[in-house]
Amino acid sequence: MSNVVLLGLVSLFTDISTEMVYPILPLYLSSVMGAGPAIIGIIEGIAESLASIVKLFSGIIADKYGHKKRLAIAGYASSTVNKIIILFATTWTGVLLARVIDRLGKGIRTAPRDALIAESAGATVGKAYGLHKGLDLLGTAIGILLAWLILAGFIFSGGEDRYTTIFIFSMVPAIIGLIILFFVKDKKMERIGKAVSFNWKNLDKKLQLFLICIFLFTLGNSSNAFIILRAVDAGFSPTNVILLYFLYNITGSLLSYPAGMLSDKIGRKNLLCAGYFLYGVVYLGIALMSHDAAFVALFVIYGFYTALTAGVERALIVDIAPPQHKAGALGLHAAIVGIGLLPASIIAGLLWKWIGPSAPFLFGGVLAFITSAAVLVILRERRR
């Protein structure tokens, strides 16, 4: 489990860096660069989708040639590079370039890192992914809190320069995470028999249907940037909405590890279905409510959704995928989610612009309920 802990720490520090920037980026784009919701949706959608194909091929390469650690190092190094580009960007196109580089790096590292965790976890793969996701979200929460302290003027004051300060400070934890990664051990896996190329047809039918459901769900799962903008639209100040995002992440961090352990004991299906259902509740609530207390409760429930699904989805894929194609299957899952984010974010931006701020959340909530029911059917155990 030492690899799992080290990789968790890598994600913790990298996410401190990333999440110092991510929640303020829509605020920075809208208030400093004058970009509207549609532009923000295009930026997020393009950045995620261009990285998606990389996630798939990175997983296939990791299965075929090994070198998972090297791929992970290359991916995590981009976390520092993108902050430098954002720092010097003068238009939203510069921010788009930075986001593309950041997401490409995530695409390179995701599947090899997840495969390293699976190889080190043994029989408790749900527990391992739960621990990793818990540390990942803890890093996210710390990064958000640091961003809020700077943005609110507790650490630094100076108007728009607060954004610049955040971009500079965010580079430090990214470098620390990269250094920790060098201590991770890359297992040399012996291949038995002739290697079989990764192919959709080689996957279990149940896994194929599950991945199709994930794509359907992702079409309503637009960027969290829209949740942040919706909270501002409902009356929260930019600094207070960051605290809401912090609340969501700290909730997910505290619950991910117990959820992962529970999935090892009772199975993945019920936890996943409950998670997608809660997502639907959150999105419908965000669409229909504007009271401060309601938003606080919804962001907490959103943390429950993340804890019940993020690590458990990956554990389910490892359970079902062929042993020689685990990294490829994990990469395919990440690619499907990324590909879906482009139309999801564009749809959300257009629905917001043409119908109103509630529309994208109504759309996402309905798709989440459909996904919850579909996964319940797909993963049911057939009686003999």
Mean pLDDT of 337-360: 85
Tens-digit pLDDT profile for residues 188-220 = 655 544 455 777 887 888 999 999 999 999 999
Mean pLDDT of 358-378: 93
Tens-digit pLDDT profile for residues 169-192 = 888 998 999 899 999 887 665 554
pLDDT at 44 over 80: no
DSSP, collapsed to helix, strand or coil, labels residue 235 as coil
Tell whether domain 2-184+202-378 is in CATH 1.20.1250.20: yes
Distance CA(375)–CA(373), nearest Å, equals 6
Predicted pLDDT of residue 282: 94
Q: What percent of the chain has pLDDT over 90?
A: 29
Mean pLDDT of 36-47: 67
Tokens 């297992």 identify what position?
187
Domains of the chain: which residue ranges?
2-184+202-378
- To 10 degrees, the CA torsion angle through 41, 42, 48, 54? 170
- To 10 degrees, the CA torsion angle through 311, 96, 146, 337? -10
Inter-CA distances, 265 with 126, 142, 201, 378, Å:
9, 30, 30, 20
Mean pLDDT of 328-353: 84
What DSSP string describes 286-322? HHH---HHHHHHHHHHHHHHHHHHHHHHHHHHHHHS-
Calculate Rg over the CA atoms of the chain: 20
Tokens of residue 65, six digits: 């040639």
Confidence of residue 36 (pLDDT cuts 50, 70, 90): low
Number of other CB atoms surrounding residue 322 within 10 Å: 15
Tens-digit pLDDT profile for residues 94-114 = 777 777 788 788 888 888 888
Distance CA(26)–CA(297), nearest Å, equals 23
Average pLDDT, whole number, for the chain?
83
